[in-house]
């Protein structure tokens, strides 16, 4: 077997090999750029679709009435389009979720980052990740068919469809995510700060609360804001367990439709595309998108800050 002769540079250029490679490299870099730009296109498309589909709606219903009205009855003979009942139910369940997720998440992430030995952490981190993978429809099943009947024994007046249980389930659902982001932030606090504090005679909890938590503050806040964003946008748990009846209430034992549950309800029904009632899913969707966009941007900048700080 004769060894293949390796062509020299002049021959490579002459045969067009170099030109071909150059062209391929160029084409691929453009292609990769287009793929990256697709993500910008998706965001633009979301905004364009939500605005254009609700354009007709806002031509007939004033934005002021929409944002301040307390009645949501789009399919009645005399329809009312006040988004407040949906918004209140959305914020109420999200607030309940935060009441569960904030204290528990804070304690768990302090424990994992400052107290737990590496072996426990090695097991806990993947376990939390696995819990993040449970489909939300399964959480909906838990809320409606397991937790609600159970809690009805203890809480008088708790309706079969209510805001309280989905709120609690939502809190537990976002817990793994909140813990993983805030624990990352705490781990990012440089060890030198901890060692300095220990050298001054601080104990573990003092280091945790006076050095690590303040040091990781922006990251921890980001974790809670991003968790809030998830709670606000969560759909299935609420569509299943919080009901589909718009209800302006401050009593979490009652059921009330959230924005997401309302969109699901209309999607399952047979309202014709193009009708005013149908276009409400896009106008309420727009409200939801703007809210979560605010949370996401705040979370992004706070996270970026803790990454830059250390």
Partner 1 sequence: MAFTSSGNLSSAEMSTRDAIGAVNRAKRIDKIFAVGGILVMVIAMGLLFALIGDLVVRGLGRIDYDFLTSFPSRRAERAGILSAWVGSILVMLTTAFLAIPVGVAAGLYLEEYARKGWLSNIIEINVSNLAGVPSIIYGLLALGLFVYGLDLGKTILVAGMTLGLLILPIVIVSTREAVRAIPRVIKEGAYGLGADQWQVMWHYIIPAARPGILTGAIVGLSRAIGETAPIITIGALTFIAFLPPAPVSGDFPFINFDWLTDGFTVLPIQMFNWISRPQADFHVNAAATGVVLMALTLSLNGIAIWIRYRLRREHHN
212-241 positions binding partner 1, by CB under 8 A = 226, 229-230, 232-236, 239-240
- Is residue 116 involved in binding partner 1 (CB under 8 A)? yes
Nearer to partner 1, 158 or 226 (CB): 226
CA distance 51 to 65: 18
Least Å distance, CB 1 to partner 1, is 25
Total number of residues that touch partner 1 (CB under 8 A): 85
In 3D space, the residue among 100, 133, 89 whose CA is nearest the CA of residue 245 turns out to be: 89
> In the range 64-103, which residues lie near partner 1 by CB under 8 A?
none
Least Å distance, CB 289 to partner 1, is 5
- Is residue 46 involved in binding partner 1 (CB under 8 A)? yes
Least Å distance, CB 306 to partner 1, is 14
Q: Any idea what DSSP says for residue 242?
A: T
- Is residue 21 involved in binding partner 1 (CB under 8 A)? yes
- Stretch of 62-70, 81-89, 213-221, 292-300 lying at the interface with partner 1 (CB under 8 A): 292-300
Q: Which residues contact 171 (CB under 8 A, 6 or more apart)?
A: 96, 97, 98, 99, 100, 101, 104, 231
70, 248 in Cβ contact below 8 A?
yes
Burial 45-59 (b: 16+ CB within 10 A, else e): eeeeebeebbeebee
Least Å distance, CB 136 to partner 1, is 7
**Paired tokens of 29:** 């870099």
> In the range 134-163, which residues lie near partner 1 by CB under 8 A?
134-138, 140-142, 144-147
- Stretch of 61-69, 79-87, 188-196, 204-212 lying at the interface with partner 1 (CB under 8 A): 204-212
Q: Where are the alpha helices (DSSP H) in the chain?
A: 9-14, 17-60, 63-68, 84-110, 118-132, 136-141, 148-152, 164-187, 191-199, 204-207, 213-215, 217-233, 236-241, 259-268, 276-309
DSSP assignments along 18-78, one per residue: HHHHHHHHHHHHHHHHHHHHHHHHHHHHHHHHHHHHHHHHHHHS-HHHHHH---EETTSSS
- Is residue 112 involved in binding partner 1 (CB under 8 A)? yes
Among 13, 107, 155, 200, indicate the residue that binds partner 1 (CB under 8 A). 107
- Is residue 271 involved in binding partner 1 (CB under 8 A)? no
Least Å distance, CB 119 to partner 1, is 14
- Is residue 188 involved in binding partner 1 (CB under 8 A)? no
Nearer to partner 1, 24 or 67 (CB): 24
> In the range 247-266, which residues lie near partner 1 by CB under 8 A?
260, 263-264
- Is residue 268 involved in binding partner 1 (CB under 8 A)? yes
């Amino acid at each position: 077997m004769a060894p293949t002769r390796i062509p020299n540079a002049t021959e490579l250029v002459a045969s067009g090999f170099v030109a071909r490679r150059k062209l391929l490299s160029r084409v691929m870099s453009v292609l990769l750029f287009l793929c990256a730009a697709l993500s910008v296109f998706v965001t633009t498309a979301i905004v364009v679709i939500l605005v254009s589909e609700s354009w007709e709606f806002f031509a007939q219903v004033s934005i002021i009435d929409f944002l301040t009205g307390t009645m949501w009855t789009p399919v009645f003979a005399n329809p009312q389009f006040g988004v407040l009942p949906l918004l209140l139910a959305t914020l109420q369940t999200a607030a309940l979720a935060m009441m569960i997720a904030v204290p528990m998440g804070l304690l768990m992430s302090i424990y994992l980052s400052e107290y737990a030995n590496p072996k426990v952490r090695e097991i806990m981190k993947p376990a939390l990740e696995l819990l993040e993978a449970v489909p939300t429809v399964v959480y909906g099943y838990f809320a409606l068919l397991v937790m609600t009947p159970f809690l009805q024994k203890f809480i008088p007046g708790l309706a079969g469809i209510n805001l309280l249980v989905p709120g609690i389930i939502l809190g537990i659902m976002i817990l793994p995510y909140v813990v993983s982001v805030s624990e990352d932030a705490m781990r990012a606090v440089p060890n030198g700060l901890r060692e300095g504090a220990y050298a001054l005679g601080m104990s573990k909890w003092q280091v945790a609360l006076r050095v690590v938590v303040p040091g990781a503050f922006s990251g921890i806040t980001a974790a809670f804001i991003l968790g809030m964003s998830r709670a606000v946008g969560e759909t299935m748990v609420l569509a299943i367990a919080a009901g589909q009846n718009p209800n302006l209430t401050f009593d979490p034992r009652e059921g009330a439709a959230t924005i997401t549950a309302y969109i699901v309800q209309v999607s399952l029904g047979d309202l014709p595309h193009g009708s005013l009632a149908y276009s409400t899913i896009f106008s309420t969707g727009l409200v939801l998108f703007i809210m979560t966009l605010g949370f996401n941007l705040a979370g992004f900048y706070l996270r970026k800050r803790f990454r830059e700080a250390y």
